[in-house]
Amino acid sequence: MNGSNDFPVLGFDIGGTKIAICLADRHGRILGSQRIDGGTGEDYPVALRQMTETGDALLKQAGVAATDLRAVGISAPGPMDMASGILQKSPNMHWEGAPIRDDLQKYYQVEACLENDANAGMLAEWFFGVARGCSDAIYLTMSTGIGGGVIVNRTLLQGTTGVGAEMGHVVLDINGPLCGCGQRGCFEAFCGGRSISQRMQEILAEEPDHPIMRMAEVDGDFKKLNYQVLRVAVREGIPLAREMWEEVCLRTAQALGGFMMIFNPQMIIMGTLAHYSGDMFMTPVRKHLAKFSWPQLHEPCQLKTPALGHQIGELAAVSPAFYKFYRKGGWEPEPANP
C-alpha cells in the first residue's frame, strides 16, 4: 500500500463485552474491521493475543504491510494511568494493570496512542462526523453510564493528569442518588442507563402488579427494567414513568446548562439516550435549558446526536492516533462540508 494519500492506522476499541479492531485511512474510510466477543472478560494475555492476531489479519486482508502502518490507536474505558499507558480495574472490566499501550507499541513497532473512550468518541465525531469544522464542542456518551469529551479551541481537553472532562460525574445534587463512582448526585447517577434501571427496580420491588411490571416488555421480570421500558411507559402515559422522565430531562438540561456556561461550545453531541429517544427527550431538555444558562450561551449551541452511527466505536479506536499526528502537524482533518 503506497502513495501520498495512504495513512493506515490500526485501532482497538476496548469494551467490557467486546473489542472492536479497525483499520482506517486518513479520510476515515474503514479498510477492515472485526469484533472479538468476550472483551475484557477474557484474561489480558489471552485477549492481547486475540487482538494482535485479528489486527494482523486485517492488515493482510487490506494489503497493508506491517511496515506501512503509521500508528496504533486505543480507545478504552477508565480509569487509566495515562502517563504509563496502563488500564486500571473498573466495575465493567476483568483486567487490572494491563499495559495495553506499551504492549501494542512493542508488537507493532509504531507509536501507540491511548485515550479514554469518551474522549476518543469526541475525536471521531470531530474528525469524521457531525462536529467537523467546530472549534469548540462537547460529546456525551449517555448510555449505561455518562462519559464526556471536550474540544476547546480545536484542542482536546485532557487535564493535568489526562483524565479531564469526566462530565458524567459532575455533582448536580449532593443529596441525590448514590453513583457507582462513590459520590452522590452525579449527572450519571440521575441519568445513566444503569442508574435508571436500578432506580426503577428499587421503586417497583414491592409492586409486582404495577402497570410498568405488567408491560409486555417487562412481563414481571425486574431485570428487564431499562431505558427502553421507561420510554414505552412514558408514551403509554404511566404517571411514574412520566415523573421519572421529567427528572431525566430536567437533570440533563441542568448539566448541559452548566457545561454551556463554562465552555460556551458551538455544539453538544449526545449519544445513545438522545439518539433513541428523539424529540420526546430533546424537546423538554431544550425547554429547561433557560433555567440553567444564559440565552447568549444556549441559543447558539447546537444539540446534536452522533453522525457516525455503528462506526463510532471503530473510528473512535483510530482517532487517538490521528489526534497525535494532528498535534504534531503531520495530519489535518478534512474541512466540514459546505
- Asked if residue 263 and residue 140 are part of one domain, the reply reads yes
Q: What whole-number percentage of the chain has pLDDT above 70?
A: 97
Q: How confident is the model at residue 112 (pLDDT cuts 50, 70, 90)?
A: very high
Give the number of other Cβ atoms within 10 Å of residue 279's Cβ: 8
- Asked if residue 105 and residue 191 are part of one domain, the reply reads no
Residue 5 has pLDDT above 70, yes or no: no
Among 30, 19, 75, smallest CA distance to 52 is for 19
Residue 1 domain-assigned?
A: no
Q: What is the pLDDT of residue 29?
A: 94
Residue 237 domain-assigned?
A: yes
User: CA angle, 293 as apex, 287 and 299 as ends, to 5°?
Assistant: 65
pLDDT digits (tens, 9 = 90+) for 184-224: 999 999 999 999 999 999 999 989 999 999 999 999 999 99
Say which DSSP state 67 is in: G
Q: How far is CA 182 from CA 61, 76, 186, 203, 247, in A?
A: 46, 21, 9, 21, 21
- Asked if residue 122 and residue 152 are part of one domain, the reply reads no
Residue 252 domain-assigned?
A: yes
Q: Compute the average pLDDT of residues 156-181.
A: 92
- Asked if residue 174 and residue 86 are part of one domain, the reply reads no
Q: What is the pLDDT of residue 15?
A: 85
Q: How confident is the model at residue 139 (pLDDT cuts 50, 70, 90)?
A: very high
Q: Compute the average pLDDT of residues 303-312.
A: 92
Residue 279 has pLDDT above 50, yes or no: yes
Mean pLDDT over all residues of the chain? 93
Residue type, 99: P
Residue 338 domain-assigned?
A: no
Nearest-angstrom CA–CA distance, 45 and 57: 18
- Asked if residue 105 and residue 61 are part of one domain, the reply reads yes
Q: What is the pLDDT of residue 172?
A: 98
Nearest-angstrom CA–CA distance, 72 and 164: 22
Q: What whole-number percentage of the chain has pLDDT above 90?
A: 82
Nearest-angstrom CA–CA distance, 78 and 169: 13
Residue 2 has pLDDT above 50, yes or no: no
- Asked if residue 99 and residue 193 are part of one domain, the reply reads no
N-term to C-term CA, the chain: 31
Q: How far is CA 283 from CA 145, 166, 303, in A?
A: 22, 25, 11
Q: What is the pLDDT of residue 92?
A: 64
CATH label of the domain that carries residue 292:
3.30.420.40
Q: Which residues pair with 19 in a beta bridge?
A: 14, 36
Residue 3 domain-assigned?
A: no
- Asked if residue 201 and residue 248 are part of one domain, the reply reads yes
pLDDT digits (tens, 9 = 90+) for 55-109: 999 999 999 998 999 999 999 987 888 889 999 877 667 788 999 999 999 999 9
Q: What is the pLDDT of residue 3?
A: 43
The H-assigned helical ranges of 178-311 are: 187-191, 193-204, 227-235, 239-263, 272-277, 279-288, 295-298
Q: Compute the average pLDDT of residues 163-168.
A: 89
Return the percent helix, strand and coil in the chain, to nearest 5.
Answer: 45, 15, 40
Residue 336 domain-assigned?
A: no
- Asked if residue 216 and residue 107 are part of one domain, the reply reads no
Nearest-angstrom CA–CA distance, 230 and 247: 12
Number of domains in the chain: 2
pLDDT digits (tens, 9 = 90+) for 11-61: 999 987 889 999 999 999 999 999 999 888 889 999 999 999 999 999 999
- Asked if residue 279 and residue 167 are part of one domain, the reply reads yes
- Asked if residue 289 and residue 217 are part of one domain, the reply reads yes
Nearest-angstrom CA–CA distance, 117 and 232: 29
Residue 152 domain-assigned?
A: yes
Residue 338 has pLDDT above 80, yes or no: no
Residue 335 domain-assigned?
A: no
Sign of CA dihedral 50, 56, 60, 64: positive
- Asked if residue 288 and residue 144 are part of one domain, the reply reads yes
Residue ranges making up the domain that contains 108 = 9-127+309-328
- Asked if residue 159 and residue 287 are part of one domain, the reply reads yes
pLDDT digits (tens, 9 = 90+) for 233-269: 999 999 999 999 999 999 999 999 999 999 999 999 9
